[in-house]
């Protein structure tokens, strides 16, 4: 098989690869990089501003108008700070880890469709850095790779709090990845494609075709919760629980390496919001019934940005409103999210086969679930009485 | 499952639109409390004589040992104070002072009082020791501004003599009765209402703190007349007053500039 066959879905390469096509790709990569970095800068400002509003504070307002350049100032400050590597650290891994955290965040964004199609000088291409046929698997793979960044950072620091933080991080991220994947499977089942653009196109008729509504809201909420845990954002930020672990896995980091972790965290927030929008909210598709391949270039981009912004706000809102989970974290992941995702996935699959099958499966699940809950209850009660004796 | 934590979402969302209590300090100052304790001044009588008689009671009572006084007999030909002696040396070390106001309580002639000025940051220890010259009020009865002190317009108003404004010795019969002598530049000010409920906020310089903080009070703690529609009218009127005052101030300033030209 031709190795270029995997790119056959991208209309840019229909007529072979010429240097102009390569130039377009390079420009797309650069544009995505710049846009992502700038939006991270704005996101940090946005988060600090919104959370201070929610706490009746003023927030950053010194650097630039409305404190917009605060992030820039912080970045410059961090850049000029002393770069420390602890004595006990595994120096190579210690220096490698921040990049392992940052790269997946950058790479995930490459498969997110930002807008419709664009034609320049006879070259037809998509507003998306790359559209591999395995798009959504790539997202899952990259979010797993980012576990390595956190884990290796904590381990290579040679210090106990970072180690504890990274152990928590890897446990948490791996267990929530299961729930994450199961909900992605539901989306893939309805879209019948792994490519992110195909997933978006399958929702592109009207807003009631968005996966949010088509899949019945539950997968979306489960996905949102597990993605918040995957991002290590509050209320799932046990990884860097500052009151317990000093700063979590990045305690020993300083200067630019710390800045890279910080950057990766917020970049992940943005890319994951974009992924949520892609999977459940029709991506660049507006709520008015409309098709994606439209002559209008800007409106899809604006819709995409707006929807992503809503999710960014929701993440900040989470942080302001919810206290950090304690040891309930694993319970929530394994005992609530995964069974619910699995159950809903079965129902979705059955409905796709035949509507009544869906009802049957749902009923069976309710009965089985009730039985299981009862069994667990009895077991728990028995354990308690045994312990009492 | 307890879902009460969802209330956090409502609360935080509501806070988005609430008024901020934070003041942007260097740009804008908090209103000073009516009895704020700040640095001291040495007062004069209305004829310019110093009130201090060099009795050293303030130095004796000072718990932080920050006051140093040496009295001297008044020169008969040009007396400094109306008494027998006067404060020849008077120094307060502000690295030690804990504005407790006990010196003011001790002073038999109300010579030393505390202003509301507390924003000074000196860069060496010698500046921290305020001498008699620096503490004495000027000919207009106002404290002297030292280069390291941060003053804004109006900060030096109503600076002294506030401590005995309520009922002296706790006797209810004297509530609201003026018990102190007039001072240079300020004269006699209106007394605070104390617990009697008679209050003249404008005259006493008392800022209704409750109104400032209102946005963050519990609904029950907000005065009845400031709630709902009536409150909206009240606030609108207050802000209009403020704007009008600003306008008048600007106009007078312009007129003053014109006259100066």
In a domain, A30, yes or no: no
In a domain, A14, yes or no: no
* Edge-to-edge strand list for the sheet holding B67-73: B67-73, B85-93, B129-130
Looking at every residue in chain A, the average pLDDT score rounds to 84
CA distance A193 to A132: 11
pLDDT given at position A270: 92
Q: CA-based Rg of chain A, rounded to a whole angstrom?
A: 23
pLDDT given at position A47: 92
User: A50: phi > 0 → left, psi -120 to 50 → alpha, else beta; which?
Assistant: alpha
Q: Does residue A377 carry a pLDDT above 70?
A: yes
Would you list the domain boundaries of chain B? 25-205, 208-261
Mean pLDDT of the A210-221 span: 84
Mean pLDDT of the A53-71 span: 87
Q: Which residues of chain B have pLDDT under 50?
A: 165-167
Is the domain of A269 the same as that of A377?
A: no
Range of the domain at A375: 354-389
Chain B CB contacts of A58 below 8 Å: 20, 22, 24
pLDDT given at position A273: 92
Is the domain of A338 the same as that of A358?
A: no
CA distance B33 to B26: 18
Strand partners, B90: B69
Q: How far is B231 from chain A (nearest CA, A)?
A: 21
B5 interfacial to chain A (CB closer than 8 Å): yes
Is the domain of A304 the same as that of A359?
A: no
Closest Cα in chain A to B4: A322
Residue of B1, B7, B11, B12 for testing the chain A interface, max A β-carbons within 10 Å: B12
Q: How confident is the model at residue A3 (pLDDT cuts 50, 70, 90)?
A: very low
CA distance A111 to A278: 10
What's phi and psi for A124, nearest 5 deg? -100, 120
| Most confidently modeled range among A109-118, A141-150, A308-317, B141-150 | A308-317
- pTM for the model: 0.73
Nearest CB partner across the interface for B15, out of A54, A58, A322: A54
Say whether A321 and B21 touch across the interface (CB within 8 A). Answer: no
pLDDT given at position A147: 85
Say whether B13 and A317 touch across the interface (CB within 8 A). Answer: yes
Query: CA separation (Å) from B119 to A201, B32, B154, B212?
Result: 64, 12, 14, 22
B24 interfacial to chain A (CB closer than 8 Å): yes
B235 interfacial to chain A (CB closer than 8 Å): no
Is the domain of A231 the same as that of A375?
A: no
Closest CA to A293 of A305, A280, A284: A284
| Most confidently modeled range among A43-47, A80-84, B120-124, B206-210 | A43-47
Q: How far is A73 from chain B (nearest CA, A)?
A: 20
Closest Cα in chain A to B12: A54
* Numbered residues of chain A with Cβ closer than 8 Å to any chain B Cβ: 50, 53-58, 61, 317, 320-323
Residue of A52, A56, A60 for testing the chain B interface, max B β-carbons within 10 Å: A56
Task: Report the domain count for chain A.
Answer: 2
Is the domain of A250 the same as that of A388?
A: no
Give the DSSP letter string of B32-53.
Answer: PPTT----EEE-B-TTS-B---
pLDDT given at position B165: 47
Question: Which stretches within chain A are classed as H helix?
Answer: 19-54, 70-79, 91-110, 135-156, 160-191, 196-202, 211-214, 218-230, 242-245, 255-280, 298-321, 328-331, 338-353, 355-388
Is the domain of A301 the same as that of A368?
A: no
Q: Does residue A84 carry a pLDDT above 80?
A: yes
Say whether B16 and A61 touch across the interface (CB within 8 A). Answer: no
Q: Say if CB B223 and CB B65 are below 8 A apart.
A: no
Q: Does residue A73 carry a pLDDT above 70?
A: yes
- The fold of the B25-205 domain, in CATH, is Alpha-Beta Plaits (3.30.70)
pLDDT given at position B64: 93
Q: How confident is the model at residue A1 (pLDDT cuts 50, 70, 90)?
A: very low
Q: How confident is the model at residue A150 (pLDDT cuts 50, 70, 90)?
A: confident
Residue of A60, A234, A321 for testing the chain B interface, max B β-carbons within 10 Å: A321
CA distance A114 to A126: 9
Identify the sign of the CA torsion A255, A261, A264, A269: negative
Give the DSSP letter string of chain B.
Answer: ---GGGHHHHHHHHHHTSPP----TTTSPPPPPTT----EEE-B-TTS-B------HHHHH-TT--EEEEEEEPPSSS-SSSSSEEEEEEEEETTT-----HHHHH-TT--EEE-S---B--SSHHHHEE-HHHHB--TTSPPPPPTTB---TTTTTT-SS-TT-S-GGG-GGGTT---S--BTTTB-PPPP-GGG----HHHHT---HHHHHGGGS-GGGS-GGGSHHHHHHHHHHHHHHHHHHHHHHHHHHHHHHHHH-
In a domain, A13, yes or no: no
CA distance A204 to A201: 5
> In a 3-state reduction of DSSP, which class is residue A192?
coil
Closest Cα in chain B to A320: B12
CA angle, residues B48, B53, B58, in degrees to nearest 5: 120
Chain B CB contacts of A53 below 8 Å: 15-16
pLDDT given at position A314: 92
Nearest CB partner across the interface for A56, out of B5, B9, B20: B20
Is the domain of A180 the same as that of A233?
A: yes
Is the domain of A265 the same as that of A344?
A: yes
In a domain, A86, yes or no: yes
Q: Does residue A214 carry a pLDDT above 90?
A: no
Q: How far is B149 from chain A (nearest CA, A)?
A: 24
Q: Tens digit of pLDDT for each residue in A223-278?
A: 999 999 888 888 888 777 777 777 778 888 888 888 998 898 899 999 999 999 98
Is the domain of A359 the same as that of A342?
A: no
Predicted ipTM beyond 0.90: no
In a domain, A226, yes or no: yes
Closest Cα in chain A to B24: A58
Interchain CB contacts (distance < 8 Å): A and B: 35
Is the domain of A309 the same as that of A192?
A: yes
Say whether A58 and B24 touch across the interface (CB within 8 A). Answer: yes
Is the domain of A283 the same as that of A143?
A: yes
B216 interfacial to chain A (CB closer than 8 Å): yes
Is the domain of A264 the same as that of A387?
A: no
CB-count exposure of residue A372 (10 Å: 0-12, 13-18, 19+): exposed
């Amino acid at each position: 098989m031709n190795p270029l066959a995997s790119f056959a879905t991208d209309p840019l390469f229909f007529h072979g690869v010429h240097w102009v096509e390569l130039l377009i790709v390079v420009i797309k990569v650069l544009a995505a990089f710049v846009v992502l970095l700038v939006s991270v800068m704005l996101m940090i400002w946005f988060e600090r501003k919104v959370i201070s509003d929610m706490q009746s504070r003023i927030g950053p307002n010194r650097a630039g108008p409305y404190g917009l350049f605060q992030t820039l100032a912080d970045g410059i400050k961090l850049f000029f700070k002393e770069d420390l590597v602890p004595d006990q650290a595994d120096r190579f891994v210690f220096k490698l880890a921040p990049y392992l955290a940052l790269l997946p965040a950058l790479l995930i964004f490459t498969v997110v469709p930002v807008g419709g199609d664009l034609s320049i000088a006879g070259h037809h291409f998509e507003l998306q850095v790359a559209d591999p046929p395995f798009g959504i698997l790539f997202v899952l793979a990259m979010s797993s790779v980012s576990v390595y960044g956190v884990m290796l950072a904590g381990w290579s620091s040679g210090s106990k709090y970072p180690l504890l933080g990274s152990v928590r991080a890897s446990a948490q991220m791996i267990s929530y990845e299961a729930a994450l994947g199961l909900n992605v499977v539901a989306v893939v089942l309805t879209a019948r494609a792994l490519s992110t653009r195909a997933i978006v196109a399958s929702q592109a008729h009207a807003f009631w075709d968005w996966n949010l509504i088509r899949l019945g809201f539950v997968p979306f909420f489960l996905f949102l919760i597990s993605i918040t845990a995957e991002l290590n954002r509050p209320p799932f930020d046990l990884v860097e629980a500052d009151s317990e672990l000093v700063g979590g896995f990045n305690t020993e980091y300083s200067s630019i390496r710390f800045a890279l972790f910080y950057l990766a965290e917020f970049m992940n927030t943005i890319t994951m919001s974009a992924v949520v929008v892609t999977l459940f909210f029709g991506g660049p598709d507006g709520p008015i019934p409309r098709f994606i391949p439209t002559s209008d270039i800007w409106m899809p981009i604006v819709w995409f940005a707006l929807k992503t912004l809503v999710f960014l706000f929701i993440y900040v809102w989470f942080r302001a409103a919810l206290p950090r989970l304690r040891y309930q974290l694993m319970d929530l992941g394994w005992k609530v999210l995964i069974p619910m995702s699995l159950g809903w996935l079965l129902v979705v699959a059955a409905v796709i086969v035949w509507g009544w099958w869906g009802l049957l499966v749902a009923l069976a699940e309710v009965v089985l679930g009730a039985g299981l809950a009862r069994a667990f209850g009895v077991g728990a009660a028995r354990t308690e009485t045994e312990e009492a004796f | 499952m307890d879902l009460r934590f969802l209330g956090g979402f409502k609360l935080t969302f509501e806070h988005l639109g609430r008024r901020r209590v934070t003041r942007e300090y260097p740009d804008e100052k908090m209103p000073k409390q009516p009895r704020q304790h700040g640095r001291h001044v040495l007062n004069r009588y209305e004829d310019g004589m110093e009130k201090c008689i060099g009795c050293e009671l303030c130095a004796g009572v000072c718990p932080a040992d920050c006051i140093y006084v040496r009295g001297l007999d008044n020169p008969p030909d040009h007396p400094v104070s109306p008494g027998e002696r006067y404060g020849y040396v008077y120094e307060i070390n502000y690295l030690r002072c804990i504005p407790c106001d006990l010196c003011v309580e001790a002073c038999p002639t109300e010579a030393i009082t505390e202003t509301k000025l507390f924003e000074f940051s000196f860069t060496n220890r010698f500046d921290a020791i305020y001498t008699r010259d620096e503490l004495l009020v000027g000919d207009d009865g106002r404290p002297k501004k030292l280069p390291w002190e941060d003053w804004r317009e109006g900060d030096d108003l109503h600076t002294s003599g506030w401590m005995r404004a309520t009922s002296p010795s706790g006797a209810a019969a004297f509530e609201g009765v003026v018990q102190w002598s007039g001072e240079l530049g300020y004269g006699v000010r209106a007394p605070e209402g104390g617990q009697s409920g008679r209050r003249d906020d404008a005259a006493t310089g008392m800022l209704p703190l409750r109104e400032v903080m209102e946005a963050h009070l519990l609904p029950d703690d907000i005065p009845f007349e400031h709630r709902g529609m009536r409150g909206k009218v009240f606030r609108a009127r207050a802000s209009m007053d403020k704007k009008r005052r600003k306008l008048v101030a600007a106009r007078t300033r312009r007129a003053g500039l014109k006259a100066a030209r």
